[in-house]
Amino acid sequence: MEPREVLEFAKKNKTVMIDLKFMDFPGLWQHFSVPLHELDEDAFEAGFGFDGSSIRGWQPIHASDMLVVPDPDTAVMDPFMAVPTLSLICNIVDPITKERYSRDPRNIAQKAEAYLKYTGVGDTAYFGPEAEFFIFDDVRFAYGANRSFHQIDSVEAWWNTARDESPNLGYKLRYKEGYFPVPPSDSQQDIRTEVVMIMESLGIVVEAQHHEVATAGQGEIDMRFSPLVKMADNLMWFKYILKNVAKRHCMTVTFMPKPLYEDNGSGMHTHISLWKGDKPLFAGDKYAGLSQEALWAAGGILKHAPGLCALCNPTTNSYKRLVPGFEAPVNLAYSSRNRSAAIRIPMYSPSPKTKRLEYRTPDPSCNGYLAFSAILMAALDGIEKKMDPGEPLDKDIYALSPEELANVPSTPGDLSEALKALEQDQEFLLKGDVFTQDAIDMWLEYKKEKELDPMRSRPHPYEFALYFDC
């Protein structure tokens, strides 16, 4: 839409408030609202002021004034506000220089799309994330100097088979048996469908929704692929809608990769393909129907995967999912159909238009703008430098001998290792000024000071079981 069309759209929908949404650095939406009379065509250039020092990972207190500038193409009616409210996703601008802010994740994603066109390799990068999640009935957690605990609950969880539920009907999902059961065992079908209906009302096309493998309400809703920035916008809407629909039902949602012990975690398998005009660049006559460019792109992603983990698996909890020996894709190899490899080539359709790489390592705790941009930059680096991805891993990873397995590199063992990898491997991100040095340095600093250091200094509850009697 043009600014004029946004104002007409607002009037048509009897808008009372304008909600201005933007992304903080770690990956959560922030917002503030203004009455409709504050929005005019000039606001789409002049923006609205706010305190950037109060946003995680952003400005220091002595340079805190920032602007949010609404993107007119993102205008939709917010489906959850009590009064008619027009939602606009915003870009962040420095009020003095009028330049886009280097730590605005959406700015980084837009620069990644521009860099793709600059290289001449292609003009569109399509992304399709499969973001898994848990819908719980209750969550409680606390940490103090002398105690810590967390407790989650779900009516369909296997641990509740003996609970007095007046009556307990017994339809509980056994551990690791949550994939595709019908209701009543799948107790959240209608909730997921409600999410799908709201997403589609906002123009987000959904391909499927289903229960996932774990007990206790693990699910997945798959969006149809879109260009990088648009898909990152859609991912934020997806999280927002899912959390608010769950709240309507007195339930809660988490995108934590590993909230449960001894059951599957939540990943975000991310499909990527590059196009030039109407030509799919990843289709060809090489392995699994891929082009040479696609194999080089896979080589770039695999080479940079340890550093990518700092952005695609950015929490300490991420590495409780990425554990060798289980189903998580920790093996830095590629394969057709083999889901234990970090990159899978889906073989559902022979059409060249469907040919893509599925990077299976990321998880939904990531900031989509940063993660998708980093994956694209790694793929482009692979194409530019013609990186050989090596031989495909078509064997059963669990049947490999220790000697064979030793030749397959794996993802970092924890967030600290991933951040070290990013420190040592970041040149590919800096190309085209897509990620600035300032942005990367702040990411590393924030993760170390706000997440790693606090975790290191706190005793873990299980340590008492291991060591209290030492």
User: What's the burial of 453, exposed, middle or buried (CB within 10 Å: 0-12/13-18/19+)?
Assistant: exposed
Task: Supply 315's token pair.
Answer: 């929490």
| Residues belonging to the active site | 51, 130, 132, 212, 220, 269, 339, 358, 360
Strand, helix or coil for residue 404 = helix
Tell me which residue of 272, 311, 295 sits closest to 428, measured CA to CA. 311
User: What's the burial of 271, exposed, middle or buried (CB within 10 Å: 0-12/13-18/19+)?
Assistant: buried
Q: Compute, in degrees rounded to 10, the torsion defined by CA atoms 416, 218, 129, 421.
A: 10
Backbone φ, ψ for residue 427 (5° rounding): -60, -40
Q: E strands along 241-328, which residues?
A: 252-254, 268-276, 279-280
Backbone φ, ψ for residue 109 (5° rounding): -65, -40
Strand, helix or coil for residue 347 = coil
CA distance 457 to 143: 12
Alpha helices in 120-227 (DSSP H): 189-201
Task: Supply 331's token pair.
Answer: 């093996």
In contact, 315 and 365? CB cutoff 8 Å: yes
Residue 330 DSSP symbol = -
* DSSP labels, 200-230: HHTT--EEEEEE-SSTTTEEEEEEPPEEHHH
Strand, helix or coil for residue 458 = coil
CA distance 20 to 36: 12
CA distance 430 to 437: 7
